[in-house]
Structure 1
Amino acid sequence: MSDGSEYSHVEKPLLQQLAALGWQVILGGNLGASVAEREAFREVILEERFRSALRRINPGPNRGEWLDDERLSGALLELTRAGIGKLIEVNERMTRHLLEGISVAGLPDWDQGRTQHIQFIDFQRPENNDFLAFSQFRVDEPGGQSKRFIVPDVVLFVNGIPLIVIECKSPNIVDPVTEGIKQIRRYANQRSLGMPEGNERLFWTNQFVVSTYGDRARVGTFTSGPEHYLEWKDPYPLSTNDLAEGLRKTRDALSGQEMLVAGMLTPKNLLDIVKHFVVFTVVDGKRIKIVARYQQYRAVGKAIQRLRSGKTRAIDGEADRRGGLIWHTQGSGKSLTMTFLIRAMRSDAILRSSKVVVITDRTDLEKQLAATAQISGETIERVRRAKKLRKVLAEHGPGLVFAMIQKYRDTGNAGQLGLAGDDVAEELGVLNSDESIVILVDEAHRSQTSALHANLMAALPNAAKIGFTGTPIMSAGKKKTTSIFGEFIDKYTIRQAEQDGAVVPIFYEGRTAKGAVSGGSDLDQLFEDMFAEQTPEEVEQLKTRYATIGNVLEAPSLIAAKARSIMWHYLSTIFPGGFKAQLAATSRLAAVRYRDALNDARDDFVAQLEGIEPYIIDGVEDASMDIDSLPSKMQILIRARPHLGLIRALEFVPVISGNHNDDPTWARWTDKVLQEKTIEDFKKPLGLSGQKE
């Protein structure tokens, strides 16, 4: 940039911080036409560093160097031969090589001439690797025409292999982070312009990318859209105070770039992230690469530390102290956090032999968790029956078990545990007293009922327990929840997620005076709120008929009243923005009744739309009548009238679990195929099929 701010205020401090962390720095901008460390600008792997590092980190007999030029050339070929496929497919293959290594021919007089496995990176001993930060790293675009090239501001190499691309932008331009992201996407040919504009070879082995302007820095992968780049706001395991002291700054003066460099690019942290916190998955039919968020990395690190250092039940004498609660708000990626934790455990010398038991109470969560956990490369046991669960849990040694627990009802027997598919809940009894068992409980705030707790603790009395929840735990349930799992391991609140841009802000608006009933006076108030139009005699009859909280909340009259309120609120407030809506009901019966009541409320709204007097419509259209002067309900109707066709077609679909005692008319709402289609349809934009609304 002409003002020099890009280098002096962004790139230079970044390189200085990296150097202080142990990175060697090459200032490529000072080299002129020299390619430095390469024979040509088209090369992206620094071959001499690569060969030297691999000889060092893969010792042979008597810890000496044994890899010759031929074997090293074969290893280099594995990272420079793309084969067939898109960039994401090539990157996935290369990443697998980086994580797992490759096999090469052995020596005749060593290990009986067997094939030997070599690593590209020494993850166990970070200090054994070569770390290089190369500024202004020019790469010629394909085709051999040196007039077309890209120059990322900083490329980070480990053992000569490019893993990170960083784009630095001047803080004096408009929206510098977004400009940096656009540049990175151009370098990686990810803008879908129909023609190449960068060099994908630089991204074959890339693990994540960074766009920074100093004050703020955001991280993503080459598949990330601009909205998916997020800041890294914690230098864990270094404290923010220690980071500030090391940089001779106050805590408030730390920049986003300094925080990201300390948290992600400290050599040990970087290798940890590459090995355990980068995953490939499919979203909306597209294969993408994801790097962890800072709260996921921090939570896993703290959980590993507690699992390693916490006291077992036998040592403590009262309870197992190796677990705890991870409270990360909805939308923060809890299933991926669980996956990252499992991967990290499998690399830990103490924890790698643990049996991991994952407990969830919803089918979709089980599928999601199982799919993401497959990334750990481990065989997964998905258990649906108590008989199989007994067998799997009783087996000693490592394993990864998923058990989907039915939603609980207090049957008076705290030893009952219902598994999906079981007609009756069965007691498991003591199955395994090993200490090398870790139970991961999803949605711990509701899965920690006495039934689950008693049964699992009886079956696995010496296991460590970690609970995950995305819902704030109210004081009434906090003591019980922490008494089961232990103290909090990590917290990431909805306000933090909103500030990070990880979730959109959520606004709450109360629609009635009471949403739950805790006593007789509340029950009276609820009736007064919801049945205000009834006579006192009719209200008393209703109280007699619906004497319990469950019956009140399932009462057809109450549901009908709420459905009318919901319909008007949705069509006046949510619908105009083009949004759909979800409704959580107190029970399956209530869900089905809400469906019928919402249909009636929609039909009533449509009837009122169709019944608007023509003179009102004409007056609003020719501006002889001010719409704001009309009653509020008429204003809503007038504004909704252009969308009559879409409103008439609105559907309300219950998604509920099934039971053999169900009313036969509920069958379609429990059908799994229909439910999956309903969920996929719900994700699509609001509108009539084949018609834009």
Structure 2
Amino acid sequence: MAKGVREREFQNLMIQWSLPMGWGYTAGRSLSRETTQTVVVGELRDAIVRLNPEVIDGFDVDTVVEEIIATVNAVDGGLVRANEQVLKLLRGHKEFRGADGVWRALKVIDFEHPTDPTANTLVLSDEVTITVPGKTPRRFDLVYWVNGLPLVVVEVKSPTAKSGWADAAREINDVYATEYPWFFTPNVFSVASDGLKLRFGAASAPLNQWQPFRSTDDDENLSGQADVQRSVELLLKPAAVLDMLGNFVLFSTSGGGADKKYLPRYPQMEAAHLIHERVLSDGQKGLIWHHQGSGKTLLMVFAASLLLADTRTESPTIILLSDRTQLVRQTSGVFTSAMGDAYFHQPATSKKLCSLLADDVRGVISTTVHKFADAGKDLSTRGNIIVLVDEAHRTQSAEEESLAGQMRAALPNAKFFGMTGTPIRNLSTNTFALFGEEADPDRVLHRYSVSRSLQDEATVPVVLDPHPVLFEMNDQALQAEFDQFADEFDLDDPDRENLSRKFGRLTSVFANPERIQTVCQDIVDHYLAGAYRNGLKAQVEVPPLCGRC
């Protein structure tokens, strides 16, 4: 694409911000690759030799490299499915056959030492060209390479141009990933920025799934270029890129719908790591207070994945607890696709749940709190049972006879982490006391506020538009109907007075069919004239008739 001076200046700024984080710079034209190649073959080969010193002598390294390149270039099943297969390879989950006929997993990337130059080769390049015969050559603004593999692609627009980050994202989706999908099979995420805003997302993902990347510790008012620079420093540091690759990219490619790739929001990454750290330090609980709609169910899956992958947790049992079967199914679908069925359990009955826990089953159990009814005491006394509770403000109380109380009696040494957007503190329920550690600020382990959620566009604001509907009643006609009714049933004066108070004018007005018709018509007219025409959603909020309703 044609580039103005300011666009190039911003591109250079991103390079300057990246170099102190450990990236080495090599101009795209100076990379040791043909423009037809996705992989920098020499760097990949060196990394395989370097990272597998104990077993590499038993392999034909060139054959291994050829197999990796073939996997990278295979996109027959679609980009998302191909991306899943390549990322499994990059995580070290693919086995290669050695000269002795034995299959062994080989490291391609060192996740434990992301910036150690003796472990990983980190290269940032600009103006990286890709072309094959019969296709228009394309040029990526920035590419971040790890051991010769393009993990991040960046497209920028000028801060002074009319086009913005969304145009950059569309260019990645509709041009680059469409015409050259094999360049994106190793892609962890892509970045689009116009110098004033930055968003990251999965290549080919809809624009509404491209998100900002910030920190909940930073000033919420950070904006413009300062916000973009901070996002670059947080998102594109090598440790963050490899953390996302190794721990947080999930897929749903098991059939029964469109293939999906899930990338975490930054509060999900922060909270999942805090839960992981709390468990490793033998903490007993933690409260995650994230605004509604910010992805708490997916956060539970990310946290569970971290805990299961860490040998220090000693094969834990992780209970994903919801209060609705719909949420159980949602959690189950994402988790089984991401982690497989081998260690996943979804008991259909209370008896089956109790049997799993009594038999010391490890892995993940997805269930509802209602299945703990009558579970009894000390069903399992292990300390490495971790309960992740969705919508923790509901069905959760400290009373022994409650469902939550029975669950805690059945699992006396378990660790409990509550996810909620609306914690409650009243006489019967105290979410803060039940899940919050005293040492945590305000008893909250991690907080993602309403204001941050709105700023990130993770949720949308709700505008209240009071809309009273005027309706006139004929008092004389109403009284005449009441008198006729009372006469027919021969009511005495005290009965007439009681009935008049209980089912008087207010109830008659609200239950009047003509008024109901008027209100419904007003709702439809108001919605079609406003929210519908502007592409918005709407809900009807009906106030109670009295304080007890």
Give the TM interval when normalised to the shorter protein. 0.7 to 0.9
Letter in 1 for 2:459: V
Report the Cα offset of residue 50 of structure 1.
Answer: 0.3
Letter in 2 for 1:346: L
- Residue 434 (structure 1) aligned to one of 369, 379, 382: 382
Please give the residue correspondences for 1:469-508 in structure 2 after superposition, counting only pairs within 5 Å. 469-470=420-421, 472-476=422-426, 480-486=430-436, 487-508=443-464
How far, CA to CA, are the matches of 1:23 and 1:189 in structure 2? 24
Give the counterpart of 1:287 among 255, 259, 268: 259
One-letter code of the match for 1:507?
Answer: V
Q: Is the 8 A contact 2:17 2:232 kept in 1?
A: yes
Q: What does residue range 259-338 of structure 1 map to in structure 2 within 5 Å?
A: 259-281=230-252, 285-311=257-283, 320=284, 323-338=285-300
Q: Which amino acid is the alignment partner of residue 72 of structure 1?
A: V
C-alpha distance after superposition, 1:425-481 (max 9, x if no partner): 5343220111101001111111213412211110001111011113x2344279711
Structure-2 change in CA distance of 1:454 and 1:44 (3 Å): same
**Residues 214 and 256 of structure 1 are in contact (CA less than 8 Å); yes or no, is this contact kept in structure 2?**
no
Where in structure 2 are the equivalents of 1:212-223 lying within 5 Å? 212-223=193-204
> How far did 1:336 drift?
1.2
2:121 to 115, 127, 130: 130
Q: CA shift at 1:176, angstroms?
A: 2.0
The answer as to 2:410 corresponding to 1:466 is no
Post-superposition CA distance 1:337-369 (Å, at most 9, x none): 111111111222323621101111112111101
Length, aligned pairs only: 499
Per the alignment, do residues 177 and 251 of structure 1 end up closer, same or farther by CA in structure 2, a change over 3 Å counting?
closer
User: Residues 455 and 272 of structure 1: is their aligned pair in 2 closer, same or farther, counting only changes over 3 Å?
Assistant: same
1:383 alignment partner, SS class: coil
CA–CA distance in structure 2, aligned partners of residues 306 and 395 of structure 1? 26
What amino acid does structure 1 have at the position aligned with 2:32?
A: E
1:353 aligns with 2:315: yes
Picking from 86, 93, 104, the partner of 1:101 is 93
Displacement of 1:581 in angstroms is 6.1
Say if 2:305 is the partner of 1:343.
yes
Residues 57 and 369 (structure 1), Cα distance of their counterparts in 2 relative to 1, 3 Å cut = same
Q: Which amino acid aligns with 1:89?
A: R
2:487 paired residue number: none
- Answer with 116-125 or 15-24: which moved more: 116-125
Residues 158-177 of structure 1 aligned to structure 2 (within 5 Å): 158-177=146-165
Alignment-mate amino acid for residue 11 of structure 2 = E
| Equivalent residue in structure 1 for 2:527, among 568, 574, 591 | 574
Rounded to whole Å, the distance in 2 between the matches of 1:427 and 1:575 is 51
Distance 2:321 2:176 in 1: 40
Q: In 2, distance between residues paired with 1:430 and 1:558?
A: 53
Specify the code of the residue in structure 2 equivalent to 1:256: D
Cα distance in 1, alignment partners of residues 363 and 197 from structure 2:
42
- Say whether 1:453 aligns with 2:404: yes
Deviation at 1:502, TM superposition (A): 1.8
| Amino acid corresponding to residue 335 of structure 2 in structure 1 | A
Match of 2:104 in 1: 116
Contact 1:212 1:218 in 2 (8 A): yes
Aligned CA distance change for structure 1 residues 103 and 51 (closer, same or farther; 3 Å): same
Per the TM alignment, residue 397 of structure 1 is displaced from its structure 2 partner at its CA by 5.5
Match of 2:524, as an amino acid? L
Q: Please, what TM-score do these two structures have when normalized by structure 1?
A: 0.65
CA distance, structure 1, for counterparts of residue 497 and residue 251 of structure 2 = 58
Percent identity among equivalent residues? 25
Amino acid at match of 1:54: I
SS of the equivalent of 2:360 reads coil
Question: What are the Cα deviations for residues 121-156 of structure 1, in whole angstroms up to 9, with x where unaligned?
Answer: 22233232221111111101x3356xx211111111
Distance 1:2 1:209, change over 3 A: closer
1:501 partner amino acid:
E
Alignment TM-score, normalising by the size of structure 2? 0.81
User: Match of 1:331, SS?
Assistant: coil
Structure 1, unaligned stretches of length 5 or more? 191-197, 242-249, 312-319, 407-417, 420-424, 513-530, 547-554, 587-693
Q: 1:152, 1:233 → 2: CA distance?
A: 24
Q: What is the CA-CA distance between 1:287 and the residue it aligns to?
A: 2.0
Give the aligned partner of residue 473 of structure 2. Answer: none
Question: Is 1:403 aligned to 2:367, yes or no?
Answer: yes
Contact preservation (8 Å) 1:453, 1:484: no
Greater RCO structure (CA 8 Å; 6+ sep) = 2
SS at match of 2:404: helix
1:377 aligned residue: 340
Letter in 2 for 1:12: N
- Secondary structure at 1:209 match in 2: strand
Partner of 2:168: 180
Q: Is the 8 A contact 1:75 1:102 kept in 2?
A: no
The one-character-per-residue Cα deviations of 1:97-116 (angstroms, maximum 9, x if unpaired) are: 223432222354xxxx6321
Q: Specify the SS of the correspondent of 1:136.
A: strand
Q: Deviations over 1:461-520 (max 9, x none)?
A: 1111011113x23442797112211132222233322221222221235679xxxxxxxx
Q: From the superposition, tell whether residues 23 and 575 of structure 1 become closer, same or farther in structure 2 (CA, over 3 Å).
A: same
Deviation at 1:53, TM superposition (A): 0.6
Q: Unaligned 5+ residue runs, structure 2? A: 437-442, 469-477, 484-493, 544-549
C-alpha distance in 2, partners of 1:184/1:134? 17
